[in-house]
Amino acid sequence: MLNRGYAYTTIIGGNHHGQSLLSHLASLYPHSTPQVWQQNLNNGEVTLNGVTATGRESITSGQHLVWNRPPWIEPDSPQHFEVLFEDSHLLAVNKPSGLPTLPGGGFMENTLFRLVQKQTPNANPVHRLGRATSGIVLFAKTPQAASNLSANWNTSKIQKIYRALAQDVAHHDTYEILTPIGLVPHPLIGSVWAASPSGKPSKSLAKVISRTSCTTTFDVSLSSGRPHQIRIHLASIGHPLVGDPLYGLAGLPLENLPGLPGDGGYFLHAQFLNFHHPITGEPINLEAALPSGF
């Protein structure tokens, strides 16, 4: 079934001033070639400051660029979720692996956000999980709850514990991981979050739960909220997630198998979420049962 299409809107930055619109589109959305973008332009899908564009324009700083993407058939994804907790302010659900939290990356309707809002229109996610990551996603139903939770999300007031299945056998029982995370080049999409000396400070605490002859199962607690933090951090200490198509040793993108951030195959589950209710102050302790594979 076709979705409703989507209007991707950006404002031209000063560092792109004077560039041709066609070359800018090809660099901004590198998933398509300049030839494909020229066809999109010929179809009247792109406007610049509200005027249908040809691609030959010389862009200037501050212009509004809109790509009106026509409706498309989205990739399949699970269409279910489990409610773990609900009251007049909060909703917590157990997201299955393979279901994106928010629209993006080719998904607009087949997302947890859309599924939840069909039942609870005033619910908005406080955070997000990667498409292939399963487990607890917390929604706020009121502005007061959203404001309180957002302010405290990456503090010690909210405890987030993930279960991760990683490659190779860990030599220690506990790891404090402080690898900075920033954008690094990626051959397919321009850049991707990964371990980077110039990246933002990040902190995870990984505790060994069990070992086999070739894997280690960790519980990982987060003290910061960088994109793909657990995948990057465990890989940076020599333990990439089992089946991770993107991150290899040192927490960098794999060179010979350039996966994309949303690609699945790994085992990561947001299992526990502990915090005080943003309105009543009562302790809330949530647990999402482990899926098969762990």
pLDDT value at position 257? 67
Which tops the pLDDT comparison, 186 or 77? 77
pLDDT at position 70 over 70: yes
pLDDT band at 104; cut points 50, 70, 90: confident
* Residue 127 CB partners (closer than 8 Å, separation 6+): 137, 138, 153, 225
* Whole-angstrom distance, CA of residue 38 vs CA of residue 45: 10
**Could you say which architecture CATH assigns to the domain 157-263?**
2-Layer Sandwich (3.30)
The torsion defined by the Cα of 233, 276, 290 and 103, in degrees rounded to 10, comes to -70
For the residues 218-242, what does the mean pLDDT come to? 96
pLDDT band at 190; cut points 50, 70, 90: confident
Q: Give pLDDT tens digits for 160-177.
A: 999 999 999 999 999 999
Q: What is the pTM of this model?
A: 0.86
Q: How many other C-beta atoms can be found within 10 angstroms of the C-beta atom of residue 187?
A: 10
Q: How many other C-beta atoms can be found within 10 angstroms of the C-beta atom of residue 40?
A: 20
Say what percent of the chain tops pLDDT 90: 85
pLDDT value at position 247? 95
For domain 6-69, the CATH superfamily is RNA-binding S4 domain (3.10.290.10)
For the residues 17-46, what does the mean pLDDT come to? 93
pLDDT band at 260; cut points 50, 70, 90: confident
Indicate the range of 37-46, 146-155, 249-258 predicted with least confidence: 249-258
pLDDT at position 83 over 80: yes
For the residues 12-20, what does the mean pLDDT come to? 92
Contact (CB, 8 A) for 25 and 35: no
pLDDT value at position 264? 86
What is the average pLDDT score of the chain? 94
pLDDT value at position 154? 92
pLDDT at position 188 over 80: no
pLDDT at position 236 over 90: yes
pLDDT value at position 293? 78
Both structure tokens of 215:
């894997």
pLDDT band at 258; cut points 50, 70, 90: low
Domain segments of the chain as ranges: 6-69, 157-263
pLDDT value at position 64? 96
* Whole-angstrom distance, CA of residue 172 vs CA of residue 84: 34
pLDDT value at position 114? 95
Which tops the pLDDT comparison, 1 or 284? 284
